[in-house]
Amino acid sequence: MASEAAADGRIPRYCELPRHSDLGLAYSWDVWAPDDDLGTINNITEASVRSAAGEVQTGRRYNLSLPLELPDPPMFTRRPFTHHILQLDRRTYDDYLDGFYLQGSSQWDSLLHVRAGRFGLYKGRQAEPAEHVASGGAGLEAWAEHGIVARGVLLDLAAVAEQRGQPIRAGVERRFGADFLREVAEAEGIGFRRGDILLIRTGWLADYLAADAHRRAWLANTSDVAGLHAGEATAEFLWDAGCAAVVADNPTLEASPGDLAIGSLHRRLIPMLGMAVGELWNLEGLAAACRADGRYTCCVVAVPLNLSAAIGSPANAVAIR
């Protein structure tokens, strides 16, 4: 549903958002319509899509999704899926998956993914995610219907860290705050536009893909991950940049295991701000192309599953330059 606030172009800055009286966190529940299921995907408008299409200069495409079977072994105690192939008759085949976790590989988090404790989901909704299945709404089907086509902005944190002699390793917690994000954007010559998808390359995936089976198994069982700082300054940066979504190449977006005194970036972004989040996206091919010609923008097209009340979905994303 279109945003009432967006109709006149007026989206409040982070410092203007109200704060939850109990949580002390800024929230966007009144920015868009009362029945809004899109959150920051509202920032994708016809005008922003036309602008994003202008990023296509060469026509080269970059798949941003890992093979569905990676990571292997799966992370966060998930189990691997089983792919069944059936022969229906002499000429026809079919197939299906058992035990398929929708957030097991390159994926989207829907607005049903995280609660703000007893204060509910996005917009303070108290219904459990399973209760949304019958009525639809609040899951990824709203994003699928709206369409995710946006200018992608790659912030290659890993490349800058490596230039400084501080390479990022998978399995080591490291926090990247708003100031560093600004430094990288300035170094790349990036100015943000409302409706952008921020593609955060931490280097976690590059290290994972280079690892042998033994180390991959170890990484699947460690909670230490380099990622975004979970503090309020990061949420403020992402909101004021006008992001439609923030996506990372690591499994957690924020640094993990984190610090209880700082809090959870997922909680700040998803239930409080309605921000679309993606994780484990494969940014390696795109990043190499960006470094080669010094242009860190592209057009991103993603098609999450049109599944009622889905909590997650494969990314199904491609970058076009």
What whole-number percentage of the chain has pLDDT above 90? Answer: 90
pLDDT of residue 10: 82
Pick the closest to residue 43 from 243, 274, 235 (CA basis).
Answer: 243
What integer best gives the mean pLDDT of the chain?
94
pLDDT of residue 289: 98
Residue 156 · residue 291 · CB < 8 Å: yes
Select the more confidently predicted residue: 69 or 132.
69
What whole-number percentage of the chain has pLDDT above 70? Answer: 95
pLDDT beyond 90 at 60: yes
pTM above 0.85, yes or no: yes
Question: Which stretches does DSSP call E strand in 25-147?
Answer: 61-63, 82-87, 93-98, 107-109
For residue 266, how many C-alpha atoms fall within 13 Å in the half-sphere facing its CB?
25
Q: Cα separation of 311 and 102, whole Å?
A: 8
- Domains within the chain, CATH numbers bracketed: 4-77+96-320 (3.50.30.50)
Q: What are phi and psi of 178, to 5 degrees?
A: -60, -40
Q: Look at the alpha carbons of 133, 277, 32, 26 in this order and tell me if their dihedral is positive or negative.
A: positive
